[in-house]
């Protein structure tokens, strides 16, 4: 899955980039209380080369990551990382007006180093993790898991970000599928596209999900990197009390790498 850049929007991509982030970033943009997740099953959907699963397992979290490219040989994944990371970083540097440096990263160099460290850790963990079922090939809107298999389901930088490529019906089906495999909550981040504008169909989406028995809530998070990334969508079955995220709290502005 090589990434092709489009001119329709400053950071628009014509296909989903194989790009990932660290557990420290996940903890902020998903408002995760990591100690409470120890021993719990957490799924990272459309994970790419994120180091979330590798880092979470080292903290005693039963983490599984899913991506359509899992199943490829490590050298093939490394080639995807080389191509997509170069293009993503070049595109980001060309549009600094869309960035909000300071809250998470002090500079683009720091952000790039963090994301490359995530990919390197993923690549080191991938081969053994794949054999142990930590990395599973698959894609929305149909996940290869049982109903309520995970305590928490996460999906970052896919829905809403790629609204031009993934139509409205896909978003409805994907959100419903995230809830299906969760025994607790599903969390989606961010709620905007590459231009920083909130997904235009969000109100309609929330209404249609409510008709399917899915309660949704827009929750602020203590995170910003590019415009519009300071909130997430929390989804759960109707009648289930919320596993409400902690209120945004100030943290070390420099994520661990």
* 196-229 per-position pLDDT tens digit: 899 999 999 999 999 999 999 999 999 988 888 9
**Between vectors from CA 58 to CA 36 and to CA 175, what angle results, nearest 5°?**
60
Which CATH number fits the domain that encloses residue 132?
A: 3.40.50.150
User: Starting at the edge strand that comes first in sequence, how are the strands of the sheet with 182-189 ordered?
Assistant: 135-137, 62-67, 41-45, 150-156, 182-189, 231-237, 214-220
Residue 14's pLDDT band (cuts 50, 70, 90): low
> Is there a domain that residue 242 lies in?
no
Structure tokens at 147: 């109903």
Average pLDDT, the chain: 89
5, pLDDT greater than 70 = no
Report the domain count for the chain. Answer: 1
9 CB-contact burial (10 Å; exposed 0-12 / middle 13-18 / buried 19+) = middle
Decide if 15 is inside a domain. no
Whether 210 is in a domain gets the answer: yes
For residue 244, name the pLDDT band (cuts at 50, 70, 90).
low
Q: For position 39, what pLDDT does the model report?
A: 97
Residues 100-143 have pLDDT tens digits of 888 889 899 999 999 999 999 999 999 999 999 999 999 999 99
Residue-level pLDDT at 72: 97
> For residue 64, is it within any domain?
yes
Q: For residue 257, is it within any domain?
A: no
Q: Compute the chain's Rg from CA coordinates.
A: 17
Is residue 66 domain-resident? yes
pLDDT bin (cut points 50, 70, 90) of residue 90 is confident
Domain of 143 in residue numbering reads as 23-237
Domain presence at residue 120: yes
Residue 89: what pLDDT? 86
Q: Residue 151 falls within a domain, yes or no?
A: yes
- Residue 91 near residue 69 (C-beta atoms within 8 A): no
Check residue 256 and give its pLDDT: 33
The 10s digit of each residue's pLDDT in 164-186 is 999 999 999 999 999 999 999 99
Q: Are 32 and 4 in contact (CB under 8 A)?
A: no
- Res. 241 pLDDT band, cuts 50 70 90: low
């Amino acid at each position: 899955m090589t990434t092709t850049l489009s001119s329709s929007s400053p950071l628009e991509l014509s296909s989903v980039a194989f790009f990932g982030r660290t557990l420290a970033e996940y903890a902020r943009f998903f408002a995760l209380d990591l100690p409470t997740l120890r021993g719990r099953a957490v799924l990272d959907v459309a994970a790419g080369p994120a180091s979330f699963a590798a880092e979470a397992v080292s903290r005693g979290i039963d983490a599984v990551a899913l991506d359509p490219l899992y199943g490829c040989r490590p050298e093939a994944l490394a080639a995807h990382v080389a191509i997509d990371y170069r293009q993503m970083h070049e595109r980001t540097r060309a549009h600094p007006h869309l960035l909000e440096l300071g809250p998470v990263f002090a500079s683009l160099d720091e952000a790039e180093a963090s994301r490359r460290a995530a990919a390197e850790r993923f690549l080191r963990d991938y081969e053994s993790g794949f054999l142990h079922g930590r990395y599973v090939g698959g894609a929305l809107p149909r996940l290869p898991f049982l109903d309520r298999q995970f305590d928490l389901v996460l999906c970052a930088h896919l829905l809403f970000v790629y609204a031009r490529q993934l139509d409205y019906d896909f978003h409805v089906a994907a959100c419903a599928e995230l809830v299906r495999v969760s025994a607790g909550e599903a969390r989606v981040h961010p709620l905007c596209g590459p231009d920083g504008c909130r997904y235009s169909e969000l109100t309609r989406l929330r209404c249609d999900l409510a008709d399917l028995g899915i309660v949704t809530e827009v929750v602020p998070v203590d995170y910003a990197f590019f415009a519009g990334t300071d909130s997430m969508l929390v989804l759960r079955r109707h009648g289930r009390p919320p596993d409400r995220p902690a209120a945004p709290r100030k943290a070390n502005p420099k994520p661990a790498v």
